[in-house]
Structure 1
Amino acid sequence: MICKDCVRSYHHDQEHAAYDIREISDRYRQNLRDQIQVVDTERQATEQAWQTLEKVEKDYKRKVDQALENVKEAVAKIIKEVETKGKQAVHDIEHQRERRSQSFHDERAELQEQKKRLSEKIEEAKRVTDITRTPNNTFLLQYPAALEKFQKPVGAPSKMQAQLSYPMFLEGPSVGGIDLGKLVMVDTWKQVHTIGRKGNGEGEFEGARGIAAAKPDKIAVTDRKNGRVVICNSQGNNWKSISIEANDVAATPKRWVIANPTAVQLYNKEDAEYVSEFKTVSEDEKRRVNLIALAVKTNGNIIVGDDMKVLTEHSPDGSILRTIRIEIKPFFLAVMYDQRFDQLVEVIAISDLNQRKVFIIEVSDTDVATKLREIHPILEGKPAMDCRGMCADDSGIYIAATTKTFNKCHVHHYDTRGRFIACVAKDLYNPYGLTFTADGQRLAVADCQSVKIYAKE
């Protein structure tokens, strides 16, 4: 490998360099080996990347398949739950329909038989008294037997209720699978009793606001303008009175709990004698208070509502357990339940006169209030002017809601998820507090100048 001109001697004066072919070959071979090493390193890196890609793709497919399987299982579970609940709801409704249809049939048959017997008596009496068919001497002979037969009681027909409880399906969210709806029984209520009237004497009220019930059959009512808490039974008898400026009253197993604007006072249930009182702020805490509402949890702890947008929770003896800042003024409180899958969890319902709605909150261990939902009562197609007293049971919550007109106020029933079930009472004068009587069967409403008692029909 040499320039052909350099082979001839005359070209060597061009100063062309000449090298040994073996030396140059070795050098270039090494250079190529170095390039091979670089490319091989890149190839190995590419192979590793390929393997990584294969692994990532495999893992991705596995996770996607698992997620898809989980979704399919969840969908199947939801479908199964819907089918199960749907079948149970259909079964319940059909069962009630059959039972009620049988009741109607039996009632109809009984009335038909009574109608037949009464018609036969009337026809017998008409025949005997018909002078054209029965001469006087025959009539007088038949009269005693006919009279005895006519006067023999047939039996009064059973009185069918004008309104009956009936099933209603409450729809749940269309997605999520948490609450797909449920079947509830809608009860009809009627007013069965009124306690008291306007005035300042025994058996009279002027500003009935807070109300609470206790066993065996006691009701305590804050009579604000008369500066007292009145205690009687659900029939309006056995009156007692505690002289105190009171905004609200509640009941624990042994005590009446009364919210004075500056402190909470405890009284014996049996004799209404003063026991003790407790504050909602510590001695070193400089904060104005105005205590306006009370509620009692199932464990006996007392929830106190402060006009300063504060809730405090106390043990039954008054020891403060926590202080909770909230968004609204707690004019009225109730402990209710929130549906969590197949469990009911205690939460707190709050109504503020200016908000026209009820807030449902849950309090965490860190004393932080979490708003779960709101309830917006509608009266005759319009939002309520304000929401007031509340009480709750396993079926949901009952709320007193007012209009701008006296004698046009309502009590509504909502389920644990805040869905409207029924209007329990309407045409109330000016309702404030609600409570169930000690037997849990009747609803007592503090209606400003009286207490109205309602029962299920």
Structure 2
Amino acid sequence: MTTEAKSSTVKLNEDEPTLGPTMSPKRPRHYKGQGISQQVEMATGKTETQETTRDEVTLDPSKAESTTGEAESSAQGTTREEPTPGPSKVSSQKDNWELVSEIRLKPAAKDWSDCQAIAARQDEIAVVRFRNNQVVICSNDGKKKSSIPFPKGPRYIAVQHIHNRLVVAECFDPNVKVLNSDNTLAYEFETTPQSEFEQRQEADKLDKPQHVPGGVAVKKEGTILVADQKRNVYTEHRPTDGKLLRTIPVKRTPVHLAVDSKDRVIISGKEGVDVTDGNGIILFTLEPTICSQSARECGSVYGDSSGLYVPARLKNFFSGHIHHYDLDGRFLCCLAQRLPCPTGITFTSDGQMAVAAGNSIQLYRKV
């Protein structure tokens, strides 16, 4: 089955955000998934407005249509590592992806969104099954190899590539686990002091202590990042033993964390995605739209040299899309539609795109 989709053009809003302790005095860019609306400040001081709009087409699930996504580059001051491009036209790009296999996992009771996070290491895919209290390991061709029990509610996962290790955060345990390539425990480390953990339990009147972790991610050199939704921060930890290095406040509640090929930290969750410089400063914001509606949730983003891959959905369970943006946040195309609650995306060592969706892992190959 070939899944190609036409998505809307990107919309750029330049509303001035309220400055906070983590934000740059310059304006971060806001990208939406429908239309482009941007102001280009010229050398003369004049402001020129460019706008294009196009409605997104929803595919018949039994058919796929080839599409192109267009975007225009922006010339806007912002905190960046490289100069912002001038107001030139970006050539259309077309990505063709084929659904080659789907790994269906038996749901826990009637929960149809058990696959909460996904990551890939050499020749393997690891997916978090929250309700089943386990991490399932599959080969790149979709065959289940093993499962790792996590009795305290595994929720987020990442790969530390320099050691081929898995990093797993659980809902009911303040300690993050780091697993060796053979899935044995390498070490674990605390992200929330036990005293604070117990205070939260008492204040929230919970039967189980819950520290509301956010996503986990790993930088190129191995530094581990762990988000905390309760405190609205993420923490950085030494790769060898998990020792706390620093705490970074963030503006958006960090439901998911990712690190792209430029070592930028990407925070995603309700309604959008913030791409930051790694110090809490927002470079630009992505706000995907689906069928002219703003996305309700964005899953864990994957970023490499080819761009940013964003899973998003509306309230409807089967409204999930995968959107592809370039490294500057310009919309390129929609890769897949009508996915059941996509929560995460990764790429396998053999180049497949793997998506955690509902109670399955969907594997796509570029054609």
TM-score, normalised relative to structure 1:
0.56
Q: Relative to 1, partners in 2 of residues 1:362 and 1:285: Cα closer, same or farther, differing over 3 Å? A: farther
Structure having the higher Rg? 1
Q: Give, in whole Å, the separation in 2 of the partners of 1:266 and 1:193.
A: 29
Q: Residue 326 of structure 2: which of 391, 415, 418 is its match? A: 415
Instruction: Pick closer, same or farther for the CA change 1:435–1:175 going to 2, 3 Å.
Output: closer
Matched residue type, 2:278 = V
Equivalent residues in 2 for 1:23-172, closer than 5 Å: 170-172=71-73
Contact 1:412 1:424 in 2 (8 A): yes
Judge which range, 234-243 or 217-226, deviates more.
Answer: 234-243
Change (3 A) 1:240 1:418: same
In the alignment, what sits opposite 2:226? 304
SS at 1:407 equivalent = coil
Deviation per residue, 1:343-372 (Å, 9 max, x gap): xx421111123xx111112234xxxx2111
Q: Determine which of 140, 147, 167 is the counterpart of 1:241.
A: 147
CA gap of 1:179–1:237, structure 2 versus 1, over 3 A, is: same
Give the gaps of 5 or more residues in structure 1.
1-73, 76-161, 338-344
Equivalent in the alignment of 1:360: 275
- 1:203-238: CA deviation from partner (whole Å, max 9, x where unpaired): x986001110000x1011110011111111122224
For 2:342, what is the secondary structure of its paired residue?
Answer: coil
The answer as to 2:174 corresponding to 1:268 is no
Give aligned-pair identity as a percent: 33
Aligned counterparts of 1:455 and 1:230: Cα–Cα separation in 2: 21
The answer to whether the aligner puts 1:198 opposite 2:110 as a matched pair is no
Q: Read off the aligned partner of 2:102 and give its amino acid letter.
A: T
Q: 1:231 to 1:390 in 2, by over 3 A?
A: same
For 1:300-339, list aligned pairs within 5 A: 300-308=222-230, 309-317=232-240, 318-336=242-260
SS in 2 for 1:421: strand
- Residue 167 of structure 2 corresponds to residue 250 of structure 1: no
Query: What amino acid does structure 2 have at the position aligned with 1:295?
Result: A
Residue 264 of structure 2 aligns with an amino acid whose one-letter code is V
Q: 1:347 aligns with which of 264, 267, 292?
A: 264
Taking structure 1 as reference, are residues 278 and 175 closer, same or farther at Cα in structure 2, changes over 3 Å only? closer
**How far did residue 404 of structure 1 move?**
2.1
Does the 8 Å CA contact 1:263/1:291 hold for their aligned counterparts? no
1:179 to 85, 88, 93: 85
Residues 1:433 and 2:348 are matched in the alignment: no
Is the CA contact 2:226–2:236 (under 8 Å) kept in the aligned structure 1? yes
Any idea what the Cα deviations from partners look like across 1:390-411, whole Å, max 9, x if unmatched? 1111122111111222222111
Q: Is the 8 A contact 2:237 2:243 kept in 1?
A: yes
String of CA shifts for 1:78-123, please: whole Å, max 9, x gaps.
xxxxxxxxxxxxxxxxxxxxxxxxxxxxxxxxxxxxxxxxxxxxxx
Cα separation, 1, equivalents of 2:67 and 2:312:
23
Shift of 1:279: 1.0
Check the 8 A contact 1:390/1:400 in 2, yes or no.
Answer: yes
1:197 deviation in Å?
Answer: 3.3
Aligned to 1:15: none
Q: Higher relative CO (CA 8 A, sep ≥ 6), structure 1 or 2?
A: 2
Change (3 A) 1:200 1:283: closer
Consecutive unaligned residues of structure 2, counting only runs of 5 or more, are 1-41, 44-63, 78-82, 201-210
CA distance in 1, matches of 2:129, 2:94: 33
Match of 2:354 in 1: 444
Q: Give the whole-Å Cα distance in 1 for the aligned partners of 2:112 and 2:157.
A: 15
**Conserved 8 A contact 1:312-1:322:** yes
- Per-residue CA deviations over 1:153-176 (Å, capped at 9, x if unaligned) read xxxxxxxxx98897x764222567
| Structure 2 counterpart of 1:87 | none
**Contact 1:206/1:226, CA 8 A, preserved across alignment:** no
TM-fit CA distance, 1:328: 2.3
Paired letter, 1:358? V
Give 1:239 deviation, angstroms.
2.2
| d(CA) in 1 for partners of 2:268, 2:179 | 26
Secondary structure of the 1:277 match is strand
Whether the 8 Å contact between 1:360 and 1:374 is mirrored in structure 2 is: yes
Contact 1:330 1:352 in 2 (8 A): yes
Q: 1:423 offset after TM fit, Å?
A: 0.4
Question: Does the CA-based 8 Å contact 1:169-1:183 persist in structure 2?
Answer: yes
CA offsets 1:323-359 (integer angstroms, 9 cap, x no match): 111122211111125xxxxxxx421111123xx1111
Q: Which amino acid aligns with 2:245?
A: L
1:257 deviates by 0.7
Indicate the RMSD between aligned Cα atoms, in angstroms.
2.8
Cα 1:193–1:415, aligned 2, differ >3 Å: closer, same or farther?
A: same
Task: Tell me if the contact between 2:159 and 2:166 (Cα under 8 Å) persists in the aligned partners.
Answer: yes
Give the conservation status (yes or no) of the 8 Å contact 2:155–2:170: yes
What CA distance in whole angstroms lies between the structure 2 residues aligned with 1:185 and 1:314?
A: 38
